[in-house]
């Protein structure tokens, strides 16, 4: 298994999850710290430009966990997809627009989001119509 890291990024301003985002990142040649630095810089520039503001967007350093087992990765994917439901933001994961859930259902494709490994753990390459909560 390649190395995956799950982490939470704390954010002081309102975001879809109010104060944080969850990401699951597969690390290959580029170290996680450089990936996070690049993501943070680009996102901060976009937010500051789109909201005509300046300054930091992220509060403190991200928290990272090494995912060292396929079963743990599946639990994290389930947790991330169900988090907006458990937070009372939406009634089902497919109603949350800021998630990669639609990619796992096969309804959308994002060039930076790969679903093949996670889906292969269920013996299928598509989850069209299958709620992730029932997996």
3-state secondary structure 3-27: EEEEEEEECCCCCCCCCEEEEEEEE
pLDDT at 49 over 90: yes
CA pair distance 67, 77, nearest whole angstrom: 11
pLDDT tens-digit readout, 57-116: 877 777 888 888 788 888 888 888 898 899 888 999 989 888 888 888 888 888 888 887
Q: Do 135 and 122 contact (CB within 8 A), yes or no?
A: yes
pLDDT tens-digit readout, 2-36: 555 554 554 444 345 566 778 888 887 888 888 88
Q: Do 74 and 96 contact (CB within 8 A), yes or no?
A: no
């Amino acid at each position: 298994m390649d190395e995956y890291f799950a982490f939470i990024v704390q954010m002081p301003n309102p975001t879809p999850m109010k104060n944080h985002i969850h990401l699951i990142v597969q690390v290959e040649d580029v170290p996680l710290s450089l990936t996070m630095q690049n993501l943070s810089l680009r996102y901060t520039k976009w937010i500051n430009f789109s909201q005509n503001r300046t300054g930091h967007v992220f509060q403190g350093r991200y928290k990272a966990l090494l995912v060292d087992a396929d079963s743990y990765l599946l639990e994290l994917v389930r947790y991330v997809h169900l988090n907006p439901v458990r937070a009372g933001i939406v009634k089902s994961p497919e109603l949350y627009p800021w998630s990669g859930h639609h990619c796992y259902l096969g309804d959308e494709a994002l060039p930076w989001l790969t679903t093949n490994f996670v889906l292969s753990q269920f013996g299928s390459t598509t989850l069209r119509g299958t709620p992730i909560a029932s997996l």
